[in-house]
Amino acid sequence: MSNLQLIRPLVHKLHAYVPGEQPKIKGLIKLNTNENPYPPSPRVLAAVKAAVDGRLRLYPNPTSEKLREKLAKLHGCKAENIIVGNGSDEVLALATRAFTEPEQKAESRKQKAKATVQYFTPSYSLYPVLADIHGAAKNAVPLKPDFSLPGISELKRGRQWNFGAALTFITTPNAPSGRGYKTSELEKLCRAQKGVVVLDEAYVDFASENALKLALKYPHVLVARTFSKAYSLCFQRVGYYVGHAELIAALDKLRDSYNVNGLGQIAAAATLDDLKFYRANFKKIIATRERLSRELTKLGFRVLPSQTNFILVKPPLFPAKEWLQKLRDKKILVRWFSAPEVRDYLRITIGTPAEAAALVKVVRGILPVPFSN
Ligand SMILES: *Cc1c(COP(=O)(O)O)cnc(C)c1O
């Protein structure tokens, strides 16, 4: 007898999220998961080290209280407007559980809407997995070919957009294209939406505007932020939502009691005491992004404008998937996605200036002579 029958069919059939590779290859230049190339501030490292002692036997603060208070001060709201998670991935997952019904219960159109998780494609590939885990219906709405957002009237005409979806995720700036969106455009989408809208601002510190004010203005809008990318803390897993107190309280009921580990809370709180350090890093990364974009453009790459710490590029001469392997052979790891809208592109994380220079050098070596200068 097989023990597979013990597993719920939904789980048995589930295609789990596939994270970017974390290979241990000596000398590898890792530009595949949008990690920050700069380490956390010395004050953050000192705070974490100082906390590693016998107190590890104690439970951490269950509600990340100090961190929420600091975040509230930063964002001009109250601690009741903030929930912290084990990475923003956790708070994204909490939203599917708090706001969408599992699909089996959906009979009428209205019920169907209440069981629908909606998102644009391409965007963060975790959203459909979260819907599947919950047994919710998925509504994937294509972005325009240049990765811009369709307007409300286009969405109405196209009929793909479900205005009553229980939950809509919008990655802004978009990943994997790097394209930034205007707060005014996002506001129109939010206003037209009856369900909860999550604006996933994982990369917003590298952009020219953010939409935080929408979370403070509209009772159905949440903004998700993370310490992972801009604040060099992927390892610690800290992310959060800003939003209306009632939505936050609902999410809070569902989370694990000690969802954010103590060292993560300490690291994130210390980060907020040293924002100057990080703002200098954002400037460096943005400067490297612009420089690398110019250099790859000169070498025949089509580089999409980016408001993030990565660029999406269409490489010349060989298919993108071949470029992935050619670069890997030279110890440079970038990301390639098989989805049809992006399969002709590579996504390249912005590293240090030295890493960018190494990439350009390797690219020159791969290109045949007439193209490489
Ligand atoms: C990386 C990423 C996240 C997840 O961040 P964590 O806080 O590390 O869980 C969420 N959304 C998008 C779009 C991301 O790229």
Distance CA 122, CA 124 (A): 7
pLDDT of residue 105: 65
Distance CA 322, CA 173 (A): 28
Residue finishing a domain among 273, 304, 335 = 273
221 and 312 in a single domain? The answer is: no
**CATH number, domain at 331?**
3.90.1150.10
Residue finishing a domain among 254, 273, 292 = 273
242 and 298 in a single domain? The answer is: no
Ligand 1: which residue has its CA nearest to atom 2?
202
**Best substitution site from 174, 225, 228 to test ligand 1's pocket, by max atoms within 8 Å of Cβ?**
228
Residue 178 near residue 157 (C-beta atoms within 8 A):
no
309 three-class SS: coil
261 and 331 in a single domain? The answer is: no
pLDDT of residue 38: 98
Backbone φ/ψ region at 222: left (φ over 0), alpha (ψ -120 to 50), beta: beta
Q: Where are the beta strands (DSSP E) in 87-209?
A: 116-121, 137-142, 167-171, 196-200
Bridge partners for 29 per DSSP: 332
Is 0.85 surpassed by the pTM of this model?
Answer: yes
- Note the pLDDT tens digit of each residue in 45-95: 999 999 999 999 999 999 999 999 999 999 999 999 999 999 999 999 999
At 113, list the tokens: 């809407």
Residue finishing a domain among 245, 273, 301 = 273
- CB of 122 shorter than 6 A to ligand 1: no
> How many distinct structural domains can be found in the chain?
2
Question: Among candidates 301, 314, 302, 309, which has minimal Cα distance to 282?
Answer: 309
1 assigned to some structural domain = no
3 assigned to some structural domain = no
224 and 301 in a single domain? The answer is: no
348 and 224 in a single domain? The answer is: no
Helix H or strand E segment including 362: helix 353-366
pLDDT of residue 159: 80
- CB of 202 shorter than 6 A to ligand 1: yes
Residue 26 contacts by C-beta under 8 Å, 6 or more apart in sequence?
none
User: In angstroms, how far apart are the furthest CA atoms of the chain?
Assistant: 64
79 and 209 in a single domain? The answer is: yes
pLDDT > 90: percent of the chain = 89
- CB of 84 shorter than 6 A to ligand 1: no
pLDDT of residue 373: 67
50 and 189 in a single domain? The answer is: yes
Q: How far is CA 279 from the centre of its chain?
A: 19
pLDDT of residue 370: 72
Q: Give the pairing type, strands 238-242 and 82-86.
A: antiparallel
Distance CA 12, CA 187 (A): 39
241 and 361 in a single domain? The answer is: no
Spell out, as residue ranges, where the chain has pLDDT lower than 70: 1, 105-106, 373
Domain coverage including residue 333: 19-40+276-368
Q: Give the pairing type, strands 196-200 and 167-171.
A: parallel
135 assigned to some structural domain = yes
